[in-house]
Amino acid sequence: MNIANWLHDTQRRAPRRPALFDGTELVADYATFAAHVRQRAAHLVDQHGLVPGDVVALLMKNSCDYLELLYAIWWMGAVAVPINAKLHPGEAAWIADNAEARLIFTDGGQVFSSRDLPQCCKELDGHLLPANRGWPTLEHPVPRQDQDLAWLFYTSGTTGRSKGVMLSHGNLVAMSLCYATDVDAVSADDAAVYAAPMSHGAGLYNFIHVRCGARHVVPASHGFDAAELFGLAEQVGNVSLFAAPTMVKRMVEQARRQDYHGAGIKTIVYGGGPMYLADLRDAVDTFGPRLVQIYGQGESPMTISVLPRALIAERERPDWASLAASVGHAQSCVEIRILDTGHQPLPTGERGEIAVRGATVMQGYWRNPQATRQTLVDGWLLTGDIGYLDAAGYLTLTDRSKDVIISGGSNVYPREVEEVLAQHPEVFEVCVVGEPDAQWGESVVAFVVTRNGQPLDEGELTAWFLTRMASFKKPKKYVWRSDLPKNSYGKILKTDLRQWLKAASIAAL
Protein backbone atom coordinates (compact mmCIF):
# COMPACT_ATOMS: atom_id res chain seq x y z
CA MET A 1 0.00 0.00 0.00
CA ASN A 2 1.11 3.55 -0.74
CA ILE A 3 1.35 5.35 2.62
CA ALA A 4 -0.09 8.46 0.93
CA ASN A 5 -3.42 6.58 0.95
CA TRP A 6 -3.69 7.65 4.58
CA LEU A 7 -3.86 11.29 3.57
CA HIS A 8 -6.30 10.44 0.78
CA ASP A 9 -8.59 8.62 3.24
CA THR A 10 -8.45 11.27 5.94
CA GLN A 11 -9.26 14.15 3.61
CA ARG A 12 -12.28 12.23 2.27
CA ARG A 13 -13.63 11.51 5.73
CA ALA A 14 -12.74 14.80 7.37
CA PRO A 15 -12.00 17.46 4.74
CA ARG A 16 -12.62 20.41 7.07
CA ARG A 17 -10.56 19.17 9.95
CA PRO A 18 -7.62 21.51 10.67
CA ALA A 19 -4.42 19.92 9.36
CA LEU A 20 -1.40 22.23 9.04
CA PHE A 21 -0.39 25.04 11.39
CA ASP A 22 2.45 27.51 11.11
CA GLY A 23 2.85 28.37 14.79
CA THR A 24 -0.71 28.97 15.95
CA GLU A 25 -1.90 29.99 12.47
CA LEU A 26 -4.01 27.49 10.57
CA VAL A 27 -2.53 27.11 7.09
CA ALA A 28 -4.59 24.26 5.66
CA ASP A 29 -7.42 21.90 6.51
CA TYR A 30 -7.15 18.31 5.28
CA ALA A 31 -8.95 19.11 1.99
CA THR A 32 -6.49 21.93 1.22
CA PHE A 33 -3.51 19.86 2.36
CA ALA A 34 -4.51 17.06 -0.03
CA ALA A 35 -5.34 19.50 -2.86
CA HIS A 36 -1.84 20.98 -2.64
CA VAL A 37 -0.35 17.51 -2.57
CA ARG A 38 -2.29 16.48 -5.69
CA GLN A 39 -1.13 19.58 -7.51
CA ARG A 40 2.48 19.25 -6.44
CA ALA A 41 2.44 15.54 -7.36
CA ALA A 42 1.09 16.28 -10.85
CA HIS A 43 3.76 18.95 -11.22
CA LEU A 44 6.53 16.45 -10.39
CA VAL A 45 5.20 14.14 -13.08
CA ASP A 46 4.26 16.61 -15.83
CA GLN A 47 6.86 19.30 -15.38
CA HIS A 48 9.84 17.29 -14.20
CA GLY A 49 9.09 13.96 -15.84
CA LEU A 50 9.38 11.95 -12.65
CA VAL A 51 8.15 8.39 -12.61
CA PRO A 52 7.42 6.05 -9.69
CA GLY A 53 10.65 4.90 -8.08
CA ASP A 54 12.52 8.14 -8.84
CA VAL A 55 14.27 9.78 -5.90
CA VAL A 56 13.60 13.32 -4.64
CA ALA A 57 15.66 14.94 -1.87
CA LEU A 58 14.63 17.63 0.62
CA LEU A 59 17.11 19.91 2.33
CA MET A 60 14.76 22.19 4.23
CA LYS A 61 13.99 23.42 7.68
CA ASN A 62 10.75 22.21 9.21
CA SER A 63 7.70 23.74 7.55
CA CYS A 64 4.18 22.89 6.41
CA ASP A 65 5.49 22.84 2.84
CA TYR A 66 7.85 20.08 3.92
CA LEU A 67 4.91 17.81 4.75
CA GLU A 68 3.13 18.70 1.51
CA LEU A 69 6.25 17.88 -0.50
CA LEU A 70 6.78 14.56 1.25
CA TYR A 71 3.22 13.52 0.48
CA ALA A 72 3.44 14.79 -3.11
CA ILE A 73 6.53 12.62 -3.60
CA TRP A 74 4.80 9.52 -2.22
CA TRP A 75 1.52 10.35 -3.96
CA MET A 76 3.19 10.02 -7.38
CA GLY A 77 5.16 6.95 -6.28
CA ALA A 78 8.61 8.48 -5.87
CA VAL A 79 11.03 8.04 -2.98
CA ALA A 80 11.81 10.86 -0.54
CA VAL A 81 15.27 11.58 0.87
CA PRO A 82 14.85 13.99 3.76
CA ILE A 83 18.29 15.45 4.49
CA ASN A 84 19.25 17.05 7.78
CA ALA A 85 18.92 20.79 7.07
CA LYS A 86 21.98 21.60 9.17
CA LEU A 87 24.35 19.64 6.96
CA HIS A 88 26.92 21.52 4.95
CA PRO A 89 25.81 21.89 1.29
CA GLY A 90 28.77 19.69 0.33
CA GLU A 91 27.53 16.89 2.57
CA ALA A 92 23.96 17.31 1.30
CA ALA A 93 25.22 17.20 -2.29
CA TRP A 94 27.07 13.99 -1.47
CA ILE A 95 23.80 12.45 -0.25
CA ALA A 96 21.86 13.71 -3.29
CA ASP A 97 24.52 12.16 -5.49
CA ASN A 98 24.66 8.90 -3.57
CA ALA A 99 20.85 8.62 -3.63
CA GLU A 100 20.76 9.52 -7.35
CA ALA A 101 18.19 12.19 -6.60
CA ARG A 102 16.51 13.80 -9.64
CA LEU A 103 15.39 16.87 -7.68
CA ILE A 104 16.37 18.53 -4.45
CA PHE A 105 13.98 20.92 -2.71
CA THR A 106 15.58 23.63 -0.59
CA ASP A 107 14.49 26.77 1.28
CA GLY A 108 14.67 29.36 -1.49
CA GLY A 109 16.09 27.16 -4.23
CA GLN A 110 19.57 28.72 -4.16
CA VAL A 111 21.63 26.66 -1.76
CA PHE A 112 23.79 25.00 -4.39
CA SER A 113 25.80 26.28 -7.28
CA SER A 114 25.36 24.19 -10.42
CA ARG A 115 28.83 22.67 -9.88
CA ASP A 116 27.90 21.32 -6.42
CA LEU A 117 25.11 19.05 -7.52
CA PRO A 118 25.26 15.95 -9.69
CA GLN A 119 24.28 16.74 -13.26
CA CYS A 120 20.98 14.89 -13.21
CA CYS A 121 19.82 16.64 -10.02
CA LYS A 122 17.96 19.94 -10.16
CA GLU A 123 17.44 22.30 -7.21
CA LEU A 124 13.98 23.79 -6.64
CA ASP A 125 12.44 26.11 -4.06
CA GLY A 126 10.28 23.90 -1.85
CA HIS A 127 8.04 26.79 -0.86
CA LEU A 128 6.71 27.54 -4.35
CA LEU A 129 3.44 25.90 -5.23
CA PRO A 130 3.18 25.05 -8.94
CA ALA A 131 2.57 28.45 -10.56
CA ASN A 132 -0.10 27.31 -12.96
CA ARG A 133 -3.25 27.07 -10.87
CA GLY A 134 -4.97 25.27 -13.70
CA TRP A 135 -2.34 22.56 -13.59
CA PRO A 136 -3.96 19.12 -13.76
CA THR A 137 -3.93 17.30 -10.48
CA LEU A 138 -3.11 13.71 -9.77
CA GLU A 139 -6.36 12.50 -8.21
CA HIS A 140 -5.24 9.29 -6.50
CA PRO A 141 -2.03 8.05 -4.97
CA VAL A 142 -0.15 5.81 -7.40
CA PRO A 143 -0.45 2.18 -6.23
CA ARG A 144 2.65 0.91 -4.46
CA GLN A 145 3.60 -2.48 -3.03
CA ASP A 146 4.49 -2.81 0.65
CA GLN A 147 8.14 -3.47 -0.20
CA ASP A 148 8.44 -0.46 -2.55
CA LEU A 149 10.73 2.26 -1.25
CA ALA A 150 9.24 5.36 0.33
CA TRP A 151 11.97 7.00 2.44
CA LEU A 152 15.73 6.84 2.06
CA PHE A 153 16.96 7.67 5.51
CA TYR A 154 20.60 8.74 5.66
CA THR A 155 22.02 7.70 9.02
CA SER A 156 23.24 10.58 11.12
CA GLY A 157 26.81 9.58 10.50
CA THR A 158 27.95 9.78 14.15
CA THR A 159 29.72 6.48 13.49
CA GLY A 160 31.23 7.12 10.07
CA ARG A 161 30.03 7.89 6.56
CA SER A 162 26.28 8.17 6.24
CA LYS A 163 24.45 5.23 4.60
CA GLY A 164 21.05 5.29 2.89
CA VAL A 165 18.64 3.13 4.85
CA MET A 166 15.90 1.86 2.53
CA LEU A 167 12.51 2.16 4.21
CA SER A 168 9.50 0.82 2.35
CA HIS A 169 5.87 1.87 2.51
CA GLY A 170 5.25 -1.33 4.51
CA ASN A 171 8.00 -0.40 7.01
CA LEU A 172 6.41 3.00 7.57
CA VAL A 173 2.91 1.56 8.00
CA ALA A 174 4.20 -0.98 10.55
CA MET A 175 6.13 1.73 12.40
CA SER A 176 3.05 3.93 12.60
CA LEU A 177 0.75 1.15 13.81
CA CYS A 178 3.28 0.30 16.51
CA TYR A 179 3.20 3.92 17.62
CA ALA A 180 -0.56 3.79 18.11
CA THR A 181 -0.40 0.41 19.85
CA ASP A 182 2.68 0.75 22.00
CA VAL A 183 3.72 4.37 22.33
CA ASP A 184 0.61 6.52 22.47
CA ALA A 185 -3.02 6.35 21.34
CA VAL A 186 -3.64 9.15 18.83
CA SER A 187 -6.90 11.04 18.33
CA ALA A 188 -8.08 13.76 15.96
CA ASP A 189 -7.78 16.31 18.79
CA ASP A 190 -4.04 15.75 19.08
CA ALA A 191 -1.41 18.05 17.66
CA ALA A 192 1.95 16.71 16.48
CA VAL A 193 4.48 19.48 17.07
CA TYR A 194 7.63 19.31 14.98
CA ALA A 195 10.24 20.68 17.36
CA ALA A 196 12.97 18.26 16.20
CA PRO A 197 14.03 17.95 12.53
CA MET A 198 11.41 16.45 10.22
CA SER A 199 14.20 14.67 8.37
CA HIS A 200 14.47 12.30 11.33
CA GLY A 201 12.24 10.90 14.11
CA ALA A 202 9.86 13.84 14.41
CA GLY A 203 9.03 13.61 10.70
CA LEU A 204 8.54 9.85 10.89
CA TYR A 205 5.81 10.42 13.45
CA ASN A 206 3.71 12.42 10.96
CA PHE A 207 2.06 9.34 9.45
CA ILE A 208 -0.04 8.16 12.35
CA HIS A 209 -1.17 11.74 12.94
CA VAL A 210 -2.26 12.04 9.31
CA ARG A 211 -4.03 8.71 9.59
CA CYS A 212 -5.95 9.88 12.67
CA GLY A 213 -6.74 13.33 11.26
CA ALA A 214 -4.74 15.13 13.94
CA ARG A 215 -3.16 18.59 13.65
CA HIS A 216 0.44 19.16 12.51
CA VAL A 217 2.12 22.18 14.06
CA VAL A 218 5.44 23.64 12.98
CA PRO A 219 6.79 26.10 15.58
CA ALA A 220 7.20 29.62 14.16
CA SER A 221 10.96 29.36 14.81
CA HIS A 222 10.97 26.22 12.60
CA GLY A 223 13.03 24.51 15.27
CA PHE A 224 13.39 23.83 18.96
CA ASP A 225 13.03 26.55 21.56
CA ALA A 226 11.71 25.29 24.89
CA ALA A 227 9.99 28.54 25.93
CA GLU A 228 8.31 28.85 22.52
CA LEU A 229 7.25 25.22 22.70
CA PHE A 230 5.58 25.67 26.10
CA GLY A 231 3.71 28.76 24.88
CA LEU A 232 2.59 26.88 21.78
CA ALA A 233 1.46 23.88 23.83
CA GLU A 234 -0.62 26.09 26.10
CA GLN A 235 -2.34 27.68 23.10
CA VAL A 236 -2.73 24.64 20.87
CA GLY A 237 -3.34 21.92 23.48
CA ASN A 238 -2.99 18.10 23.32
CA VAL A 239 0.51 18.39 21.96
CA SER A 240 2.70 15.36 21.25
CA LEU A 241 6.30 15.66 20.26
CA PHE A 242 9.45 13.69 19.74
CA ALA A 243 12.51 15.02 21.53
CA ALA A 244 16.07 13.77 21.94
CA PRO A 245 17.08 13.39 25.63
CA THR A 246 19.26 16.49 25.37
CA MET A 247 16.16 18.44 24.30
CA VAL A 248 14.16 17.06 27.23
CA LYS A 249 16.94 18.23 29.51
CA ARG A 250 16.72 21.73 28.09
CA MET A 251 12.95 21.64 28.46
CA VAL A 252 13.32 20.74 32.14
CA GLU A 253 15.75 23.61 32.73
CA GLN A 254 13.42 26.09 31.03
CA ALA A 255 10.32 24.70 32.76
CA ARG A 256 12.00 25.22 36.13
CA ARG A 257 12.87 28.79 35.22
CA GLN A 258 9.27 29.65 34.35
CA ASP A 259 7.49 27.30 36.78
CA TYR A 260 5.85 25.40 33.94
CA HIS A 261 4.64 21.83 34.43
CA GLY A 262 3.53 20.63 31.02
CA ALA A 263 0.19 22.40 30.46
CA GLY A 264 -0.98 21.64 26.92
CA ILE A 265 1.52 18.80 26.43
CA LYS A 266 0.02 15.34 26.11
CA THR A 267 3.11 13.28 25.32
CA ILE A 268 6.85 13.73 25.07
CA VAL A 269 8.38 10.77 23.28
CA TYR A 270 12.11 10.67 23.91
CA GLY A 271 14.82 8.47 22.47
CA GLY A 272 17.63 8.43 19.98
CA GLY A 273 20.25 8.51 22.72
CA PRO A 274 20.62 7.65 26.39
CA MET A 275 18.53 9.46 28.99
CA TYR A 276 20.35 9.25 32.31
CA LEU A 277 18.34 8.27 35.34
CA ALA A 278 19.10 11.52 37.14
CA ASP A 279 17.71 13.47 34.16
CA LEU A 280 14.67 11.24 33.84
CA ARG A 281 13.84 11.80 37.53
CA ASP A 282 13.96 15.55 36.96
CA ALA A 283 11.81 15.25 33.83
CA VAL A 284 9.16 13.14 35.60
CA ASP A 285 9.13 15.54 38.55
CA THR A 286 8.65 18.44 36.14
CA PHE A 287 6.26 17.04 33.55
CA GLY A 288 4.50 14.18 35.37
CA PRO A 289 3.08 11.26 33.37
CA ARG A 290 3.82 12.70 29.95
CA LEU A 291 6.98 10.83 29.01
CA VAL A 292 7.37 7.72 26.87
CA GLN A 293 10.73 6.33 25.79
CA ILE A 294 11.41 4.62 22.51
CA TYR A 295 14.52 2.89 21.29
CA GLY A 296 15.00 2.54 17.56
CA GLN A 297 17.46 3.28 14.81
CA GLY A 298 17.13 4.35 11.20
CA GLU A 299 17.34 0.67 10.23
CA SER A 300 14.17 -0.09 12.26
CA PRO A 301 12.80 3.41 12.51
CA MET A 302 11.60 4.48 15.96
CA THR A 303 10.60 0.89 16.57
CA ILE A 304 12.61 -1.56 18.58
CA SER A 305 11.45 -1.14 22.17
CA VAL A 306 9.22 1.12 24.23
CA LEU A 307 9.16 2.13 27.88
CA PRO A 308 5.54 3.08 28.50
CA ARG A 309 4.29 6.23 30.17
CA ALA A 310 2.70 4.50 33.19
CA LEU A 311 5.92 2.75 34.04
CA ILE A 312 8.07 5.85 33.75
CA ALA A 313 5.68 7.80 35.96
CA GLU A 314 5.45 5.12 38.67
CA ARG A 315 8.35 6.43 40.73
CA GLU A 316 7.28 4.54 43.86
CA ARG A 317 7.77 1.07 42.28
CA PRO A 318 10.63 -0.69 44.06
CA ASP A 319 12.14 -1.71 40.72
CA TRP A 320 11.66 1.76 39.17
CA ALA A 321 15.34 2.61 38.90
CA SER A 322 16.25 -0.54 36.98
CA LEU A 323 13.19 -0.37 34.71
CA ALA A 324 13.59 3.34 34.05
CA ALA A 325 17.22 2.78 33.11
CA SER A 326 16.09 0.24 30.52
CA VAL A 327 14.69 1.04 27.07
CA GLY A 328 11.57 -1.02 27.82
CA HIS A 329 10.19 -4.04 26.02
CA ALA A 330 9.87 -4.99 22.34
CA GLN A 331 7.31 -3.03 20.34
CA SER A 332 4.46 -5.08 18.82
CA CYS A 333 5.87 -5.82 15.39
CA VAL A 334 9.44 -6.78 16.32
CA GLU A 335 11.32 -9.54 18.13
CA ILE A 336 14.52 -8.83 20.01
CA ARG A 337 17.44 -11.19 20.56
CA ILE A 338 20.82 -10.80 22.15
CA LEU A 339 23.61 -12.40 20.13
CA ASP A 340 27.19 -13.36 20.86
CA THR A 341 30.01 -12.46 18.49
CA GLY A 342 29.27 -15.62 16.45
CA HIS A 343 25.64 -14.43 16.05
CA GLN A 344 24.30 -17.14 18.38
CA PRO A 345 21.51 -16.22 20.83
CA LEU A 346 22.60 -15.59 24.42
CA PRO A 347 20.62 -16.49 27.53
CA THR A 348 18.60 -13.97 29.56
CA GLY A 349 20.75 -11.49 31.44
CA GLU A 350 23.85 -11.85 29.26
CA ARG A 351 25.23 -8.92 27.34
CA GLY A 352 25.67 -9.07 23.62
CA GLU A 353 24.69 -7.38 20.39
CA ILE A 354 21.02 -6.48 20.09
CA ALA A 355 19.38 -8.02 17.02
CA VAL A 356 15.90 -7.24 15.74
CA ARG A 357 13.48 -8.93 13.35
CA GLY A 358 10.10 -7.70 12.18
CA ALA A 359 7.97 -5.57 9.89
CA THR A 360 9.81 -2.30 10.52
CA VAL A 361 13.26 -3.59 9.62
CA MET A 362 14.73 -1.86 6.55
CA GLN A 363 15.04 -3.41 3.12
CA GLY A 364 18.81 -2.87 3.19
CA TYR A 365 21.30 -0.06 2.50
CA TRP A 366 20.94 1.82 -0.75
CA ARG A 367 23.44 0.63 -3.38
CA ASN A 368 25.56 -0.95 -0.65
CA PRO A 369 25.15 -4.74 -0.72
CA GLN A 370 28.24 -5.28 1.39
CA ALA A 371 26.98 -3.17 4.30
CA THR A 372 23.56 -4.79 3.89
CA ARG A 373 25.07 -8.28 4.16
CA GLN A 374 26.99 -7.30 7.29
CA THR A 375 23.91 -5.81 8.95
CA LEU A 376 21.04 -8.08 7.88
CA VAL A 377 22.15 -11.56 8.88
CA ASP A 378 19.79 -14.56 8.68
CA GLY A 379 16.82 -12.21 8.65
CA TRP A 380 18.00 -10.32 11.75
CA LEU A 381 19.09 -6.71 11.89
CA LEU A 382 22.34 -6.39 13.83
CA THR A 383 21.98 -3.04 15.54
CA GLY A 384 25.57 -2.48 16.65
CA ASP A 385 24.16 -1.75 20.11
CA ILE A 386 25.12 -3.79 23.15
CA GLY A 387 22.57 -4.74 25.80
CA TYR A 388 20.80 -7.47 27.72
CA LEU A 389 17.25 -8.67 28.27
CA ASP A 390 15.83 -9.47 31.71
CA ALA A 391 13.41 -12.30 32.49
CA ALA A 392 10.40 -10.02 31.90
CA GLY A 393 11.67 -8.95 28.48
CA TYR A 394 12.98 -5.50 29.42
CA LEU A 395 15.98 -4.48 27.38
CA THR A 396 18.84 -2.50 28.86
CA LEU A 397 21.27 -0.83 26.50
CA THR A 398 24.81 -0.65 27.68
CA ASP A 399 26.45 0.88 24.64
CA ARG A 400 27.20 0.80 20.98
CA SER A 401 29.62 -2.03 20.29
CA LYS A 402 32.28 0.35 18.98
CA ASP A 403 32.00 2.66 22.01
CA VAL A 404 32.93 -0.02 24.54
CA ILE A 405 36.23 0.78 26.24
CA ILE A 406 38.59 -2.11 26.92
CA SER A 407 40.80 -1.09 29.80
CA GLY A 408 43.29 -3.54 31.24
CA GLY A 409 41.38 -6.37 29.54
CA SER A 410 38.06 -5.44 31.17
CA ASN A 411 35.08 -4.01 29.31
CA VAL A 412 33.96 -0.62 30.49
CA TYR A 413 30.61 0.52 29.15
CA PRO A 414 30.73 4.34 28.90
CA ARG A 415 26.99 4.50 29.52
CA GLU A 416 27.40 3.08 33.05
CA VAL A 417 30.11 5.56 33.93
CA GLU A 418 28.08 8.44 32.50
CA GLU A 419 25.03 7.27 34.43
CA VAL A 420 26.97 7.53 37.72
CA LEU A 421 28.65 10.87 36.97
CA ALA A 422 25.30 12.35 35.88
CA GLN A 423 24.02 11.75 39.42
CA HIS A 424 26.57 14.16 40.90
CA PRO A 425 24.69 17.31 41.91
CA GLU A 426 27.24 19.61 40.24
CA VAL A 427 27.38 17.72 36.93
CA PHE A 428 25.18 19.10 34.18
CA GLU A 429 26.25 16.95 31.22
CA VAL A 430 28.80 14.23 30.73
CA CYS A 431 30.18 12.06 27.98
CA VAL A 432 32.68 9.24 28.41
CA VAL A 433 35.03 7.91 25.72
CA GLY A 434 38.12 5.73 25.57
CA GLU A 435 41.62 6.99 24.89
CA PRO A 436 44.57 4.85 23.77
CA ASP A 437 46.74 4.12 26.79
CA ALA A 438 50.18 2.49 26.71
CA GLN A 439 49.65 0.71 30.01
CA TRP A 440 45.93 -0.22 29.91
CA GLY A 441 45.21 -0.49 26.19
CA GLU A 442 42.51 2.13 26.63
CA SER A 443 41.64 4.39 29.50
CA VAL A 444 38.43 6.11 30.51
CA VAL A 445 38.12 9.84 29.82
CA ALA A 446 35.13 11.87 31.04
CA PHE A 447 34.14 15.14 29.36
CA VAL A 448 32.14 17.04 31.93
CA VAL A 449 30.04 20.20 31.85
CA THR A 450 29.36 21.45 35.38
CA ARG A 451 26.32 23.47 36.44
CA ASN A 452 28.35 26.53 37.40
CA GLY A 453 30.92 26.14 34.64
CA GLN A 454 33.76 25.58 37.13
CA PRO A 455 35.91 22.43 37.28
CA LEU A 456 35.33 20.15 40.27
CA ASP A 457 38.03 18.87 42.59
CA GLU A 458 39.12 15.72 40.74
CA GLY A 459 40.24 13.90 43.88
CA GLU A 460 36.90 14.49 45.56
CA LEU A 461 34.97 13.53 42.45
CA THR A 462 36.92 10.27 42.14
CA ALA A 463 36.35 9.46 45.81
CA TRP A 464 32.63 10.11 45.29
CA PHE A 465 32.67 7.92 42.14
CA LEU A 466 34.37 5.05 43.99
CA THR A 467 31.54 4.88 46.51
CA ARG A 468 29.32 3.90 43.56
CA MET A 469 31.37 2.01 41.02
CA ALA A 470 34.35 -0.32 40.60
CA SER A 471 37.75 1.30 40.50
CA PHE A 472 38.71 -0.04 37.05
CA LYS A 473 35.82 2.00 35.58
CA LYS A 474 36.85 5.32 37.08
CA PRO A 475 37.87 8.06 34.66
CA LYS A 476 41.64 8.42 34.44
CA LYS A 477 41.18 11.88 33.06
CA TYR A 478 38.55 14.62 33.29
CA VAL A 479 38.15 17.24 30.59
CA TRP A 480 36.14 20.25 31.75
CA ARG A 481 34.02 21.80 29.03
CA SER A 482 31.48 24.59 28.74
CA ASP A 483 29.37 22.40 26.42
CA LEU A 484 29.49 19.16 24.45
CA PRO A 485 29.42 18.89 20.65
CA LYS A 486 26.03 17.65 19.40
CA ASN A 487 24.55 17.00 16.01
CA SER A 488 21.31 18.70 15.04
CA TYR A 489 19.34 15.74 16.37
CA GLY A 490 20.81 16.45 19.81
CA LYS A 491 23.16 13.45 19.84
CA ILE A 492 26.51 13.99 21.50
CA LEU A 493 29.26 13.54 18.94
CA LYS A 494 31.62 11.06 20.57
CA THR A 495 33.71 10.96 17.41
CA ASP A 496 34.48 14.68 17.78
CA LEU A 497 35.52 14.16 21.39
CA ARG A 498 37.80 11.27 20.43
CA GLN A 499 39.33 13.38 17.68
CA TRP A 500 39.84 16.24 20.13
CA LEU A 501 41.67 13.87 22.51
CA LYS A 502 43.85 12.61 19.69
CA ALA A 503 44.75 16.14 18.62
CA ALA A 504 45.43 17.12 22.26
CA SER A 505 47.75 14.14 22.78
CA ILE A 506 49.65 14.90 19.56
CA ALA A 507 50.00 18.54 20.62
CA ALA A 508 51.39 17.43 24.00
CA LEU A 509 54.24 15.42 22.39
Residue ranges in contact with ligand AMP by CB under 6 A = 155-156, 271-274, 293, 295-298, 327, 383, 385, 397, 400
Q: In terms of CB distance, is 39 or 162 closer to ligand AMP?
A: 162
Nearer to ligand AMP (CB atom), residue 260 or residue 365: 365
Question: CB 40 → ligand AMP: shortest distance, Å?
Answer: 28
Q: What minimum distance in Å lies between the beta carbon of 321 and ligand AMP?
A: 16
Strands 103-106 and 405-407: unpaired
CB nearer to ligand AMP: pick between 96 and 307: 307
Nearer to ligand AMP, 123 or 385 (CB): 385
Query: What's the CA gap between 446 and 320, in Å, rounded?
Result: 27
Query: Whose Cβ is closer to ligand AMP: residue 52's or residue 273's?
Result: 273
CB of 376 to ligand AMP, least distance (A): 15
Map residue 132 onto helix, strand or coil: coil
Q: State the nearest-atom distance from the C-beta of 158 to ligand AMP, in Å.
A: 7
Q: Which residues contact 110 (CB under 8 A, 6 or more apart)?
A: 123, 125
89 or 273: whose CB is closer to ligand AMP? 273
Separation in Å, CA 239 to CA 65, 68, 216, 242, 291: 20, 21, 9, 10, 12
- Kindly write down the DSSP assignment for every residue of 61-124, as one continuous string: -S-HHHHHHHHHHHHTT-EEEE--TTS-HHHHHHHHHHHT-SEEEESSS-SS-TTTS-TT-EEE
Beta strands in 213-298 (DSSP E): 215-218, 239-243, 265-271, 291-297
Sheet of strand 215-218: strand arrangement:
25-29, 18-22, 215-218, 191-193, 239-243, 265-271, 291-297, 300-307, 329-330
**Distance between CA 443 and CA 409 in Å, rounded?**
11
* Closer of 385 and 419 to ligand AMP (Cβ): 385
Nearest to residue 312, comparing CAs of 334, 282, 336, 348? 282
What letters, b where the CB count within 10 A reaches 16 and e where it falls short, cover 204-242? bbbbbbbbbbbbbbbbeebbbbbebbbbbbeebebbbbb
Q: How far is the CB of 83 from ligand AMP (least distance, A)?
A: 13
Distance CA 40, CA 47 (A): 10
Q: Tell me how far, at minimum, the Cβ of 165 lies from ligand AMP, in Å.
A: 8
Rounded to an integer, what distance in angstroms lies between the CA atom of residue 58 and that of residue 231? 29
Q: How far is the CB of 87 from ligand AMP (least distance, A)?
A: 14
Closer Cβ to ligand AMP, 72 or 87, answer by number? 87
Nearest to 75 by CA among 104, 52, 96: 52
**Smaller CB separation from ligand AMP, 171 or 297:** 297
Are the beta carbons of 17 and 214 closer than 8 angstroms? no
Q: How far is the CB of 498 from ligand AMP (least distance, A)?
A: 16
Determine the Cα angle at 469 with ends 466 and 472, to 5°: 85
Strand 18-22 and strand 215-218: pairing?
A: parallel
What is the nearest approach in angstroms of ligand AMP to the Cβ of residue 248? 11
* Closest distance to ligand AMP from the beta carbon of 215 (Å): 25
Q: Which residue's CB is nearer to ligand AMP, number 197 or number 262? A: 197
